[in-house]
Every structure is written in structure tokens, then in C-alpha cells.
Amino acid sequence: MVHLLDAAQVLRKGRTGAQRRAAAHALVATLAEHRIALVQTVLPVAGYALDRRDESHRILDRATTVFITLDETTVTPDPGRTTVIPHVHYRDRFLGFPVTTQVPGRLLCLSRTGLSRAAAGPLKVFSVMDTPGVSLRVVGDADPDLDELIPRAVRRNPDSVSAAVEHLSDAELVRELSAAELVMLPGINTFADLTALFMALSLDRPVVVPRSTTASLLADQVGPGWVTCLPGPVTAELLDATIRTVREQVRTPRPDLDGRDPETVAEQYATVFHRAAERVRTDGQAVLAGEDTLPDTLLGHLLGHQETPSRHPGSLPSGAWTFLSSDRDSSA
């Protein structure tokens, strides 16, 4: 069984259409030859429908045994082949990690992919905010779009604006998140965004994200005050109002993350994986490569450029794919 977490990475976005189609045909041909099931996770991103117009994506979609979504609102090519499995929380995973005392008024802008999506707006308007005692912390991998914005904001507000623009370990992220009063995220567009969101909630820190159907649903699921959806572009007035709303909102002691514990989620993934593999093996449902296949292409050659992902299906690994042998026992 092969599980694709990000088809665009496997197809290597940026190639020509013919190259992407060849890559898709190569993967599907290899899966068909070895009777390997294909499972895809579909993220609730705005560009999903546009991506699916690309023939290379449609080739993979036709060959997919099961689609997995993280919520009920995400659209897939075939609802009949779709299973919903929620994202895990990280409460147990980070037990024992050193935490930092919360800093009142600290607004943390965080992203491991495209930091400017989270931080550009706050950096531009921070100096004209009215909320007393507020500070801005920008954390995440380097983003060239912030090369001028961050130094400028620090010069204007040397005592209240700081940044750590580098790749941080999980332990460092835990320290940054635990120190924040409010965590500002760029949206729910990538697995890295989801990881950051559930890290913050697992550490009992309220988050702010742009409004979307998925974000609104999540806000309802975790309880009032834990996920705040921004209605529009970031302004000083909007940030002041958001901080005020979050502070005044009556919240439960912890967000409701029931049903998201790693063991429960891993069991759901294992069930889907084994059923998909069994269907290909016993029901004769094999992936179809189409007419223009590349039968001599090896799966390892196609996917060899990817880093090795986590083997824990509930953790939604950061790599593009997961491979599980169809003969693994059900306890895997």
C-alpha cells in the first residue's frame, strides 16, 4: 500500500505537463504491476480544484483506492471512496519537553512553510496597534519576503518585536508556543500548518487563522475561544479587536481534542490501509495505468527524491508518501 500525503511533491510541481503526466503514469504502472493499493490524503486547500484539472492529478485520482480527508468539508474526486480521519493532537508526544512561562501580550507568528503568510501583516501594522503591553514574536524557516520587513519592524520597536528566522526543532517550537498568549498561523494549507495548529492547541494556546470553512468547523469542534477566524486582511484595528475578543471569551480549561489521540487515529489509518490493500489483492480492484505507461520504471526511482517519512500513520508525516507492505499484521 502506498499513501500519498502530497501528490504535488511526487509529481514535482513546476515540471512541464508532459513530465508530470509521465511521472503519474510511471507511478500508476508500477502500482498496477505489483498490485499495490494507492491511498491519497486530500487537504482542504483553495487550490485543490485547480490542481485536479491537471491531467497528472486525474491519472492518480482514477487509480486511487481510498481518499482520506481530515474533516467532513473537504471535497474529493469521489465521496464513495472517501474516509474522514481527524488530525492527531500532540498532548502526549510533548510530555516532558521544557516549556516557558507564558508572556502576557505576546503574539507569536509561526510557520515552517512560508513564514510571510503569517507574519507580513502583523509586522507591517504592529507599530500602530493600540493594545498596551503587546509584543510580536516571529518564528519559522527563513522567508525572503521578510528580509526587509523584520529588520524594519525591529528597528521601530526594538523592545517589543523579535524573531527567530531559522528551522526550529520540536523542543524549540514547544518553548516558543508555550511562551505565547496568542498564536497566529497563516491558514490551513499544508501539513506543516496543521502540525503547528495542533501543537498550539495541544499546549493550550489559542490560535488565530484566516477564515475558511475548515477553520470555522475546527473552531466549533474545539470549543469557544480556542480558534479565532480572521474575517479579512490584517490591520492594526483587527489585531487589537482580535486580542480583545480572545481575552474576553470564556474558554474551557483546555480545547476539546477528543477523538484525536494518536492511538485512535493510528488505528483508523491502519484499518483503511489494510482494507485498501486487501481490496486490491482479493477483489481484483487493481490500479489502471492508462495507455501511455512506463512499465519499466521503478517505484523507488520515482520517489527516491523524497525524504524518508515517519512510519506512524497517525502522525501525518512530513514527507510526500508512506509505504506499507500489504502483508503486515493488523497491529502495525
Which amino acid is it at 50?
A: L
Cell of 181: 498568549
* CB contact at 8 A, 139 and 164: yes
208-212, 284-288, 308-312, 317-321: which is most confident? 208-212
Torsion of CA 192, 205, 244, 150, to 10 degrees: -50
User: Who wins on pLDDT, 289 or 139?
Assistant: 139
The answer to whether the CB of 226 falls within 8 A of the CB of 201 is yes
Q: Give the C-alpha separation, 24 to 22, whole Å.
A: 5
d(CA 37, CA 287): 7
Give the bridge partners for 39, in sequence order.
3, 66
Sole residue written with cell 499495490: 36
**3-class secondary structure per residue, 11-71:** HCCCCCHHHHHHHHHHHHHHHHHHCCCEEEEECCCCCHHHHHCCHHHHHHHHHCCEEEECC
The pLDDT, as a whole number, for residue 318 is 43
Domain 106-248: CATH class, spelled out: alpha beta
Under the banding of pLDDT at 50, 70 and 90, the label for residue 51 is low
Buried b / exposed e across 269-288, counting CB within 10 Å, b at 16+?
bbebbbbbbeebbeeeebbe
Query: What is the C-alpha separation between 330 and 62, in angstroms, rounded?
Result: 27
**Separation between Cα atoms, residue 165 and residue 138, nearest integer Å:** 7
The per-residue b/e assignment along 162-177, b for 16 or more CB within 10 angstroms, e otherwise, is bbebeebeeeebbbbb
- Size of the chain, expressed as the number of residues it contains: 332
Which residues does residue 230 pair with via DSSP β-bridges, in sequence order?
210
Q: Tell me, what's the pLDDT at 321?
A: 52
Contact criterion met (CB below 8 Å) for 234 and 128: no
Q: What is the mean pLDDT of residues 201-216?
A: 95
Quote the CA–CA distance of 206 and 218 in Å, as a whole number. 12
pLDDT at 123: 97
How would you classify residue 105: left for phi > 0, otherwise alpha for psi between -120 and 50, otherwise beta? left
pLDDT band per the 50, 70, 90 thresholds, residue 43: confident
Identity of residue 136: L
Backbone φ, ψ for residue 116 (5° rounding)? -60, -25
With bands split at pLDDT 50, 70 and 90, how would you rate the model's confidence at 323?
low
What are the residue ranges spanned by the domains of the chain? 2-87+261-323, 106-248
For the cut 50, the answer to whether the pLDDT of residue 99 exceeds it is yes
